[in-house]
Amino acid sequence: MERSKRTVTAAILFLVIFHQIGLVGLHLEESRALFQMLTPLNLLLSVGVLGLFHRQWTSNFGIYAFAVFWAGYLVELVGVKTGVIFGVYQYGGTLGPKVADVPPMIGINWLMLAYSSGILAQGLSSNLWLRTTLGAVFMVFLDILIEPVAMKLDFWTWQGGSIPLQNYFAWFVISWAMQYGFHSLHQEKSNPVAVPLYVVLLLFFGAFWVIGL
């Protein structure tokens, strides 16, 4: 048990330090291009750490994770091609290679946010509907922090340079559906690094609001 606690602490420290280094690297103009290129690695490592500490691997959970990844990618694909879901936007190069103008890494991002927000909501209520709604709110709140930073770092850009309210409404609806699936699995999902990762992401993107780019 003690070794397990040390391992959890080490994993959380890794996430904190890794994101601190990324924050500095992206803030400094001299190193920004390099750290933008490393953004997919950041996402993969973060999701990898979550996966290592997920304690209830079942076929239903595997199906859920697979579905969220593909739902996240496909909704972005439709969004980019039509402009109907989120508004008119396009992806830059920071999230890595694209398939049909959408980087598959965005599916990983949806999964990471859905999972960490779901674990956080799970710890705050036992009611399915409240958990689902709280999880969706947590996801949208992160997106509010991410959006301005994402534009400056070439994750994606919005037509006219402004973020439409439609984006946040769509985010809430999609997030609510993902959270409903998460909390309908009829099993408690235990992961000691999920909530710390959510907090790290809040601080990471929130810091850019303070220090700028």
Write down how long the chain is: 213
What pLDDT is recorded for position 89?
A: 98
Closest of 143, 142, 118 to residue 132, by C-alpha: 118
End-to-end CA distance of the chain, in Å?
42
Quote the number of domains for the chain. 1
Contacts of 111 (CB under 8 A, 6+ apart): 47, 65, 68, 69, 72
**Which residue intervals of the chain are DSSP H helices?**
2-27, 29-37, 39-53, 59-82, 105-122, 128-152, 165-183, 194-211
SS3 189: coil
* Domain carrying residue 59: 2-211
Residue 58, Cβ density class (10 Å: 0-12 exposed, 13-18 middle, ≥19 buried) = exposed
**Side chain identity at 124, as an amino acid letter?**
L
Residues in CB range of 30: below 8 A, 6 or more apart: none
Dihedral of CA atoms 43, 44, 49, 50 in degrees, nearest 10, equals 70
Tokens of 106: 């965005």
φ, ψ of residue 89 in degrees (nearest 5): -155, 170
> What is the structure's pLDDT at 57?
86
Q: What residues of the chain score a pLDDT lower than 70?
A: 1-3, 186, 188, 213
Residue 117 has a pLDDT of 98
Whole-model pTM: value is 0.94
Residue 211 confidence (pLDDT): 87
Note the pLDDT of residue 186: 66
- C-alpha to C-alpha distance for 165 and 87, rounded to whole angstroms: 9
Backbone angles phi, psi at 158, to 5 degrees: -100, 145
Output the pLDDT for position 107.
98
